[in-house]
Amino acid sequence: MQDDTSAADILMGDVVRLEDVLSRESVTSVSKSFFALFGLPVRVISQEGDLLADVHRDRPLCNYVNTLSNGERECADTVGLVRDVEPNGQTIVHPCFTGAVYRIAPLAHQGRPIGRLIIGPYVPAETQGPPASLTSIDGSIHLPTAREHFDRMPRVREDIAEELSAHLKGVVELLVFSGHRAQLASTMQVASVRENYRELAEKNEALKTSYDELKQLDQLKSTFLATVSHELRTPLTSIIGYTEMLESGAAGALSDGQAEFLNTIRGKADQLLGLISSLLDLGRLEAKSLELHNEAVDPRALLSDVGSTIVPNANRRNVALDIKVAEGTPKIWGDPVRLQQIVLNLADNALKFTHEGGEVILGAEPGELDAEGPEGLGAALFAASRPAVVLTVRDSGMGIPEESLSRIFDAFYQIDAGTTRAHGGAGLGLSIVKQLVDGHDGTIEVTSALGEGTIFTVKLPAADDNA
Amino acid sequence: MQIDFAKKELTLKLVYYGPALSGKTTNLRAIHWLGTSSTCGELMTLETQNDRTLFFDMLPITVSSQSGLKIRLKLFTVPGQVMHNATRRLVLQATDGVAFIADSQRSEADSNRESFLNLKQNLEEIGIDPTRVPIIIQFNKRDMEDVRTDEELEAIAKQSREPIFKAVATRGYGVMQTLRGLVRETWDKLEEEHQLEKKFGISPVRFMNEIELNLKHNPGRRER
């Protein structure tokens, strides 16, 4: 079926062609059972003149008249007329010169003619003997033969024939009705799917546009951050420089109070500088413009360095600090400065959220980075897994609620605004860690249990043995 | 609208719209029940799920007027459930008039409004100006409890652009009046746009007389 036909169907629900809604098989099957029951031949013809069903048996009378030259001509004329006659909404009884008749009933659907059915030839039961039109059809006719064949024609009373044809018409029209229904349903189904698809495609397009706009805004934000941080850092460096000069006594001796105030200024300025540096890092990481100077890094040295940096803080807070490096842990392939930043950020965080008496453990062990691709499936198509170093930072702190786990690596995200004030920080640390790990082609995962603690697991590619 | 000048045949598409469960299919069933078999064809129900319309129902009505013009009315319902919006839009295509079947119950006022806005939006999306398509509103389910009162509906009718009808479709009350009202509105609009009187020699008054004659109750059937 063509598309424009389906569109018209939907618009008006009309039957375009009988053949589209009435299968030849089903109408032939109905005609056959009609013929078997009543012995009456049936033909079903569409409005366009196509024969959809033709169930009949050659009658000896018909065969006989066709052997006569006049008979053959008359028979062809009659059959032609019967096939072409238009019943115009009324049943027509069309006579044949043999004395038989054809009953032609119109088929309609939703007030429109769609074809006709023809029952016959049969001889009305009321007819007495062969008519003159048969006996005088041809000079060579053998009357006893003609009479014998005439008597063997199927006979039906006209009132019964009328009922039979009305019944068959009803059955065929019902077939048309259900065929039309099925056709409309499938057309509607396809059209609805298309319409839904079109609607979804439009919505997807709109989503994509707003996503692109958001990405642009995000880009603007990064540029803005980078510019502002840079502009902030210059005067801040001066503030720190002059503070240091004052502290060193370059402008004269200081009283104890002055020294204490300067110390505070210095501390806060350092804190501010740290924040600004983080912002700059983030900007560079997001712009993918941070350069990594990779080399083979010894994990034990890395963890010890970080440990010695945070141990004073840990002692102050009465938190136990432990470092565990497993036997056979390979070296890491990475930028030593950035690796230290990763571990320090995680360790600082761990310490920050661990209560007095708790513990923080930094660990390293050999491991593997999973190959890309779906788990186990089609592994042959993907790179084999690579040797890796697994760094873990484990704490016995407050833990992270499950609903926050997916967002903790977002820049500026704080689990709740209250913790910012309680523990300080701008929510940049983990975002930077994530970007740095990504930059090293590594992975970072977090598991946490509320009230029991949190484990950050960083997998980084191992350096080649000979490195 | 489809016009076949050769056959002197005119086909109008009329769509019954409205919120889910407001009684659109019930309207068509009642018309089918009340109408004479020579006028009303078979009611075609296309795919239902738990007695809810999935695609549409269609009732063909044929009126042979004395002027020789054959008028075919095709009544469609849309599926009312919100998720079938694409199907509603398809059924609405090329409609000549809309009967909006509202639920009279006070609790359904929001659904009525939502569905009417949806109708307006869908008409706009398929390129039909909602201010130019004939629309009538039927307040159905008048027999339920806590419905808007007749006085309220009269007050609403005075302000309404669209003619208002009242019905109890489950019992056949008001469905024929609604249909005749919709046909009248639609014919007036088409007369204005297509000068049908000039083309077919049938005046709006005569046309409506023919419709009144044909769209009356089957004497054997009564509102239940």
Q: What is the mean pLDDT of residues B103-120?
A: 95
pLDDT at B142 over 80: yes
Distance in Å, alpha carbon of B81 to nearest chain A alpha carbon: 14
Q: Are B24 and B138 in contact (CB under 8 A)?
A: no
Q: Which helix (H) or strand (E) holds A38?
A: helix A24-38
Q: What is the CATH number of the domain that holds A247?
A: 1.10.287.130
pLDDT at A271 over 60: yes
Determine, yes or no, domain membership for A124: yes
pLDDT at B178 over 60: yes
Are B93 and A11 in contact (CB < 8 Å)?
yes
Distance in Å, alpha carbon of B133 to nearest chain A alpha carbon: 16
List the Cα angle A406/A409/A411 in 5-degree steps.
125
Distance in Å, alpha carbon of B72 to nearest chain A alpha carbon: 8
Q: What is the CATH number of the domain that holds A415?
A: 3.30.565.10
Q: How far apart are CA A407 and CA A434, in angstroms?
A: 12
Determine, yes or no, domain membership for A466: no
Q: How far apart are CA A448 and CA B111, in angstroms?
A: 46
Answer with the residue of higher pLDDT: B119 or B38: B119
**pLDDT score for B15:** 97
Chain B residues touching residue A191 (CB < 8 angstroms): 90
Determine, yes or no, domain membership for A467: no
Averaged pLDDT score across all residues of chain B: 89
Pick from A75-79, A177-181, B58-62, B196-200: least confident: B196-200
Instruction: Identify whether residues A279 and A296 lie together within a single domain.
Output: no
| Pair of tokens at residue A68 | 């006569």
Q: What is the CATH number of the domain that holds A80?
A: 3.30.450
**pLDDT score for A385:** 75
Are A13 and B44 in contact (CB < 8 Å)?
yes
**pLDDT score for B50:** 78
**pLDDT score for A4:** 44
CB-based contact, A192 to chain B, within 8 Å: yes
- Phi and psi at A59, nearest 5°, equal -90, 145
Point out the residue among A12, A110, A195 whose CB comes nearest to the CB of B2. Answer: A12
Q: What is the pLDDT of residues A149-180, one digit of tens each?
A: 999 999 999 999 999 999 999 999 999 999 99
Distance in Å, alpha carbon of B6 to nearest chain A alpha carbon: 14
CB-based contact, A111 to chain B, within 8 Å: yes
Q: Are A344 and A313 in contact (CB under 8 A)?
A: no
CB-based contact, B8 to chain A, within 8 Å: no
Q: Which band of pLDDT confidence, cut at 50, 70 and 90, is reported for residue A11?
A: low
Q: Are A368 and A385 in contact (CB under 8 A)?
A: yes
In sequence order, the β-bridge partners of residue B166 are B139
Buried b (16+ CB within 10 A) or exposed e, A369-397: beeeeeeeeeeeeeeeeeebbbbbbbbbb
Owner of token pair 């005609």:
A31
Domain final residue pick, A169, A195, A221: A195
Answer with the residue of higher pLDDT: B103 or A21: B103
Chain B residues touching residue A11 (CB < 8 angstroms): 13, 93-94
Residues 6+ apart with CB under 8 A from A145: A64
Point out the residue among A14, A112, A181 whose CB comes nearest to the CB of B46. Answer: A181
- The closest alpha carbon to B15, from B73, B86, B102, B85, belongs to B73
Q: What is the pLDDT of residues A42-95, one digit of tens each?
A: 999 999 899 999 999 989 999 999 999 899 999 999 999 999 888 888 999 999
Instruction: Identify whether residues A32 and A94 lie together within a single domain.
Output: yes
Determine, yes or no, domain membership for A107: yes
Instruction: Identify whether residues A142 and A62 lie together within a single domain.
Output: yes
pLDDT at A146 over 80: yes
Instruction: Identify whether residues A78 and A222 lie together within a single domain.
Output: no
Chain B residues touching residue A189 (CB < 8 angstroms): 55
Q: Which band of pLDDT confidence, cut at 50, 70 and 90, is reported for residue A5?
A: very low
pLDDT at A374 over 60: no
Point out the residue among B55, B62, B85 whose CB comes nearest to the CB of A188. Answer: B55
Chain A residues touching residue B11 (CB < 8 angstroms): 12, 14
Determine, yes or no, domain membership for A203: no
Nearest residue in chain B measured CA to CA from A173: B42
- The closest alpha carbon to A28, from A54, A48, A9, A63, belongs to A54
**pLDDT score for A423:** 52
Q: Which band of pLDDT confidence, cut at 50, 70 and 90, is reported for residue A371?
A: low
Distance in Å, alpha carbon of A194 to nearest chain B alpha carbon: 9
Q: How many domains does chain A have?
A: 3
DSSP A326-357: -TT---EEE-HHHHHHHHHHHHHHHHHT--TT
Instruction: Identify whether residues A16 and A52 lie together within a single domain.
Output: yes
Question: How far from chain centre, in Å, is Cα A25?
Answer: 39
Are A12 and B87 in contact (CB < 8 Å)?
no
Are B72 and A189 in contact (CB < 8 Å)?
no
Owner of token pair 């799920």:
B49
Q: How far apart are CA A442 and CA A463, in angstroms?
A: 13
Answer with the residue of higher pLDDT: A402 or A425: A402
Are A13 and B58 in contact (CB < 8 Å)?
yes
Q: Which band of pLDDT confidence, cut at 50, 70 and 90, is reported for residue A421?
A: very low
Residues of B (92-131) whose Cβ lies below 8 Å from A: 93-94
CB-based contact, A108 to chain B, within 8 Å: no
- The closest alpha carbon to B79, from B43, B115, B120, belongs to B115
- The closest alpha carbon to B27, from B172, B137, B195, belongs to B172
Point out the residue among B58, B72, B89 whose CB comes nearest to the CB of A111. Answer: B72
Chain B residues touching residue A196 (CB < 8 angstroms): 86
**pLDDT score for A6:** 47
Distance in Å, alpha carbon of A197 to nearest chain B alpha carbon: 9
**pLDDT score for B32:** 92
Residue-range domain boundaries for chain B: 2-214
**pLDDT score for A383:** 61
pLDDT at A8 over 60: no
Q: What is the mean pLDDT of residues B124-133?
A: 93
Determine, yes or no, domain membership for A327: yes
**pLDDT score for A418:** 54
Q: How far apart are CA B86 and CA A10, in angstroms?
A: 13
Q: What is the mean pLDDT of residues B55-78?
A: 89
pLDDT at A103 over 60: yes
Classify A434 as helix, strand or coil: helix
Domain hosting A268: range is 208-284
Domain final residue pick, A143, A173, A195: A195
Q: How far apart are CA A332 and CA B178, in angstroms?
A: 82
Nearest residue in chain A measured CA to CA from B87: A192
pLDDT at A408 over 90: no
Distance in Å, alpha carbon of B115 to nearest chain A alpha carbon: 19
Q: Are A371 and A383 in contact (CB under 8 A)?
A: yes
Percent of chain A past pLDDT 90, that is, above it, reads: 50
Are B90 and A188 in contact (CB < 8 Å)?
yes
Instruction: Identify whether residues A184 and A82 lie together within a single domain.
Output: yes
Q: What is the pLDDT of residues A179-207, one digit of tens each?
A: 998 888 888 888 889 999 999 999 999 99
In CATH, B2-214 is 3.40.50.1000 = no
Instruction: Identify whether residues A271 and A363 lie together within a single domain.
Output: no
How many Cβ pairs within 8 Å bridge chains A and B?
61
CB-based contact, B72 to chain A, within 8 Å: yes
Are B94 and A189 in contact (CB < 8 Å)?
no
Averaged pLDDT score across all residues of chain A: 86
First to last CA, chain B: 33
Distance in Å, alpha carbon of B7 to nearest chain A alpha carbon: 11
Answer with the residue of higher pLDDT: B102 or B212: B102
**Highest mean pLDDT: which range of A30-44, A86-100, A226-240:** A30-44
pLDDT at B75 over 80: yes
Q: What is the pLDDT of residues A379-405, one digit of tens each?
A: 666 666 788 999 999 999 888 888 888
Q: How far apart are CA A455 and CA A452, in angstroms?
A: 10
Pick from A147-156, A330-339, B13-22, B48-57: least confident: B48-57
Q: Which band of pLDDT confidence, cut at 50, 70 and 90, is reported for residue A1?
A: very low
Q: Are A321 and A307 in contact (CB under 8 A)?
A: yes
Distance in Å, alpha carbon of B157 to nearest chain A alpha carbon: 31
Domain final residue pick, A284, A300, A331: A284
Are A195 and B2 in contact (CB < 8 Å)?
no
CB-based contact, A88 to chain B, within 8 Å: no
H-only helix segments in A363-463: 402-405, 417-423, 429-439
Point out the residue among B70, B74, B89 whose CB comes nearest to the CB of A12. Answer: B74
Q: How far apart are CA A111 and CA B59, in angstroms?
A: 11
Point out the residue among A10, A112, A185 whose CB comes nearest to the CB of B93. Answer: A10
Q: What is the mean pLDDT of residues B65-87?
A: 89
Q: How far apart are CA B133 and CA B156, in angstroms?
A: 20
DSSP A198-253: HHHHHHHHHHHHHHHHHHHHHHHHHHHHHHHHHHHHHHHHHHHHHHHHHHTTTTS-
